[in-house]
Structure 1
């Protein structure tokens, strides 16, 4: 196999090779090191409760003993079927303490999908959030003969098959009273190569595949991130990410390694309020969160108009000048520094207060982030460190470092990660974080991993002269027009979402066609606020989407987009989708990535109409 470019930074392994033998050992070590330090905060009634590492570790041990009492053996699977919450974290570490492996299941998965994952993974116990999730299992119980027990978080068990979380803990404490070292011995028995989790790909196309990740993959990813000094023990991380996604789960491995505090609340609608209330120093998120925040602030200022809007534009403009100078390796002039101090005091610091006022970094991954959006955040004084990884690489492979970042790239490889670019542009990775294979899928494993351990990511990209990786698009999403020109739809969509505050998504299409067309999915919040100011107050989203005034506004942004594209990439026609894309309707993955194939199939007639 020939390669166009290979990373030269993959040999830096200082400190990485001495990592813990397992994620369970990371927690055991943390409890011993800082037992009274704050570990987690979580919502309780209307406020926040806090637990120390000792208190957290004690409860994890009891729940782990409960799983042992239920008959769970080393490397057997326990599935977690719940939204992001404190109990998810307790359950995950309890599974690992028991020497078992966690199977992650998104709570939005339908009953048929849940049954497939539980059966395919061979999970013996499922820890489910509530009656609604338990009902999914009951519906397909006949297809799950190996499922011994269901543990319900919110609710009480009704028989020996369904038991409450408190009951699991009670059983565990009874076992610990008889054998105090039963859990500690399980932890000591875990080897780095032992299975730690099976994470099912969210499936933008086809049947989800179970990614087998050993403990060594997670401890590597955590140690590699720690080596970059992005987070420290004094940080407060606000964790809202889906914990069934690798991006969220790697943050759980990092917490005991570094010892920082984590506040947990998976309610997306509470993100803005939680930022102000918690005042975190680190937040990881998917690009859609940054796009929405940027759009909301920009549209709010546009609606205010007058002197406030002019002052805002001036301040952000000054911030952009400083950001661009620093990106170019230059020191801002004395006059610019004075202007920036004034702009920060009057405007920029107030914008940062919307995010709590203490943020050191945002971390973005899971999908491309428009470079202009990233630079806008840098201009207001909050750096977004964009990174890159996949479920198959235990989330982490590349990241922009503090003080060493380039907008529009996903940074340099982590210590211990090798990267190559194949002749067709596909990114190939090799590292201790790469999966051992797909569960029960030998053919898929062989297609993804070669004999030398190189993983085919399915992404197209290139490495620039500074060693920073630029992602072009998913290999399967690239298309060729009838004129023979390749188009990268995801890159175009990211640029458009950075330009248009009213767009949630842009679906670009043109496979074998003479030109490209697009469907625009509106952001309900920002477009409704715009509609209220433009004679469409109290209109439904469908009515707003069909109104000619809306079309004219969106057309203006499409025209701006086209000025930044090559001729064969330009959008010749577009249509507006009359409802919001959602996870529930199958348009988006739980990590808010577009299910491109599903959306194209749903709107095939609309797309075809754009060519007539």
Structure 2
């Protein structure tokens, strides 16, 4: 595994080492809403202050009976208390089970019961109510600790402050206890149980131990050392991360442990509707995000340019064309010269500098993961001087398996393996991975681990891909490949991501055609984008539902479908489409909390609409 051996024995060991090295430096900044109606303020925690808060919470958990590898669940959005609770669980010797706050009460109860969690951290009264409703289904839970809210009369629900007070008392009685607990945690101890949000069937609890996270943190450190030798700097203690990703998701957890290894400042705020505003406040040097965030920014920029119209829109489209040429040159390892370099300087002054200003003035790069990023969108940002490093990994591989390197970006690929990760492509095209990030197995699922992880340590990802000069290009999910009744294979993800770059008014395209004569699509409009378009096109009086049935809207989508089809082989072209009456949502069960589409759920929900697009053809079963 090369240089990926970690100098630490566990995540808590890495944490206390970071505190020893960076004690008085600021570790976190986070918003604190003002209940009087005044603007919210941002508070900070140094590494030493973080250690003190984590210590009291960890000793409080110890007082409640949390012992080695005992599971504790966290049902909350991304916020400073999530991080403190997670570190406290790990420092007490326990393991964290993650639950999305959008989970239904029965789903949350299933995860808590299956994981065997004995303590649950709940964000607020809404999350507590789910647990109270399902209390009979989670008899193993001895305490619920609420972040925002009051404790219960019977003592089952206590506040975070009450848990901290328990720990403070324990620390007073035994000042050396925290160090003993941290020292007892070993690399092969369970650290995290993350339940995959699959499109169908029972969610699987993925077992990740401290060694998995130590590998990820060390691989990042090794990569940084490798890049410095090439004149690039990835992450340093002086960097500022803006962390809004769901910490219930493996991508968010990766960014969390990376901070412990490097020591940079993290601004924590999981409110998605605050991302744009917070960028100006936080002024991050880097941020990780799902492609949907970049799509939304791209869509908004394109719409605003169209609204300006006339000369401004012509300048914008010219600048985008120039930027695309520059981005393609850079993919080949070249820099623009002559007339193109001069044009790019003009485009930068007139258009791109204004776009960069939206992200603060310190941004080094974005990291994109969890779903494919359309190459066209990647090149748009790259041409504008905004680097997006697309990466790849799964819950079962601790998230970080591949990453495009600065200075060696090829859009449409997820780059090279992280140090210590091996890759090979199976005969059927499936991507196989081996390395320190691969999970130790599924929880309470006999036989499921052996189906995907062989004796030699190779993990079958379920993704189809190819290697191009060592860089991995993912073509689709193995289970999502479409085979038409004519025997032709279609990879829907690539088509869908390409379409979103062509039509800024659409949030999702769902290509369908398995065992059918041809491909069709379901189109979900972006509520914000289509409302702006409607105002510009004399349809401002119509609500979302009204717009989905309007001929002008259909003609606009048809134009984009036609443009898409020009780029596709005949068997992949979209012959018909239907505009859905509402957007796909997490609440509706069509999107996972990490913003991935649940294809099977969407197809089942809109089966009648799909069938209607094949009424003039014979369906092959």
Shared fold, TM over 0.5: yes
- Give yes or no for the alignment of 1:406 onto 2:426: no
Q: Is the 8 A contact 2:190 2:208 kept in 1?
A: yes
- Give yes or no for the alignment of 1:202 onto 2:202: no
1:25-58 CA-partner distances (Å, limit 9, x unpaired):
1110011001011101101121211111111111
Give the whole-Å Cα distance in 2 for the aligned partners of 1:53 and 1:249: 18
How far 1:136 sits from its partner (Å)? 0.9
Tell me the equivalent position of 2:547: 544
**Secondary structure in 2 aligned to 1:33?**
helix
- Give yes or no for the alignment of 1:249 onto 2:243: no
Tell me the equivalent position of 1:167: 162
Q: Is the 8 A contact 2:71 2:95 kept in 1?
A: yes
**Secondary structure in 2 aligned to 1:407?**
coil
How far 1:478 sits from its partner (Å)? 0.4
Give the whole-Å Cα distance in 2 for the aligned partners of 1:594 and 1:261: 32
With normalisation by structure 1, the TM-score equals 0.97
Give the whole-Å Cα distance in 1 for the aligned partners of 2:570 and 2:97: 47
Give the whole-Å Cα distance in 2 for the aligned partners of 1:359 and 1:251: 17
From 107, 112, 115, the equivalent of 2:101 is: 107
- Give yes or no for the alignment of 1:284 onto 2:288: yes
- Give yes or no for the alignment of 1:122 onto 2:116: yes
Mapping 1:117-516, distance limit 5 Å:
117-158=111-152, 159-229=154-224, 230-464=234-468, 466-516=469-519
1:72-122 CA-partner distances (Å, limit 9, x unpaired):
001000000001111001101010110100000001110000110000000
- Give yes or no for the alignment of 1:23 onto 2:11: yes
Tell me the equivalent position of 1:523: 526
From 72, 81, 92, the equivalent of 2:66 is: 72
Give the whole-Å Cα distance in 2 for the aligned partners of 1:262 and 1:194: 27
1:291-318 CA-partner distances (Å, limit 9, x unpaired):
1110110111011111211222232322
Tell me the equivalent position of 2:47: 53
Give the whole-Å Cα distance in 1 for the aligned partners of 2:501 and 2:220: 28
From 21, 39, 44, the equivalent of 2:32 is: 44
Give the whole-Å Cα distance in 1 for the aligned partners of 2:375 and 2:51: 41
1:404-449 CA-partner distances (Å, limit 9, x unpaired):
1111000010111011111111101111111111000121111111
1:194-245 CA-partner distances (Å, limit 9, x unpaired):
0001000012221110000000001111211222222221111101100000
**Secondary structure in 2 aligned to 1:71?**
coil
1:129-155 CA-partner distances (Å, limit 9, x unpaired):
011111111111112121110001101
1:169-193 CA-partner distances (Å, limit 9, x unpaired):
0000000000112121111111110
Give the whole-Å Cα distance in 2 for the aligned partners of 1:53 and 1:184: 16
Q: Is the 8 A contact 1:518 1:574 kept in 2?
A: yes
Mapping 1:585-596, distance limit 5 Å:
585-596=588-599
From 67, 82, 96, the equivalent of 2:76 is: 82
Structure with higher RCO (Cα < 8 A, 6+ apart): 1
Q: Is the 8 A contact 2:6 2:214 kept in 1?
A: no
How far 1:576 sits from its partner (Å)? 0.3
1:259-318 CA-partner distances (Å, limit 9, x unpaired):
011101111111111112211110100011111110110111011111211222232322
How far 1:335 sits from its partner (Å)? 3.1
Tell me the equivalent position of 1:8: none
Give the whole-Å Cα distance in 2 for the aligned partners of 1:518 and 1:611: 11
Give the whole-Å Cα distance in 1 for the aligned partners of 2:560 and 2:337: 34
Give me the CA root mean square deviation. Answer: 1.0
Tell me the equivalent position of 1:577: 580
With normalisation by structure 2, the TM-score equals 0.95
Give the total of aligned pairs: 599
How far 1:329 sits from its partner (Å)? 2.5
Give the whole-Å Cα distance in 2 for the aligned partners of 1:93 and 1:316: 45
Give the whole-Å Cα distance in 2 for the aligned partners of 1:549 and 1:335: 40
Q: Flag as ranges the 4+ runs of structure 1 deviating above 3 A.
A: none
Give the whole-Å Cα distance in 1 for the aligned partners of 2:412 and 2:388: 11
Tell me the equivalent position of 1:94: 88
Point out where structure 1 has 5 or more consecutive residues left out of the alignment. 1-10
Q: Is the 8 A contact 1:349 1:357 kept in 2?
A: no
Give the whole-Å Cα distance in 2 for the aligned partners of 1:231 and 1:100: 29
Give the whole-Å Cα distance in 2 for the aligned partners of 1:189 and 1:279: 39
**Secondary structure in 1 aligned to 2:58?**
helix
1:481-515 CA-partner distances (Å, limit 9, x unpaired):
01000111111111111111011111111111110
How far 1:552 sits from its partner (Å)? 0.1
Give the whole-Å Cα distance in 2 for the aligned partners of 1:318 and 1:278: 30
Tell me the equivalent position of 2:23: 35
Give the whole-Å Cα distance in 1 for the aligned partners of 2:393 and 2:124: 32
Q: Is the 8 A contact 1:386 1:409 kept in 2?
A: yes
Q: Is the 8 A contact 1:19 1:220 kept in 2?
A: no
Give the whole-Å Cα distance in 2 for the aligned partners of 1:311 and 1:218: 47
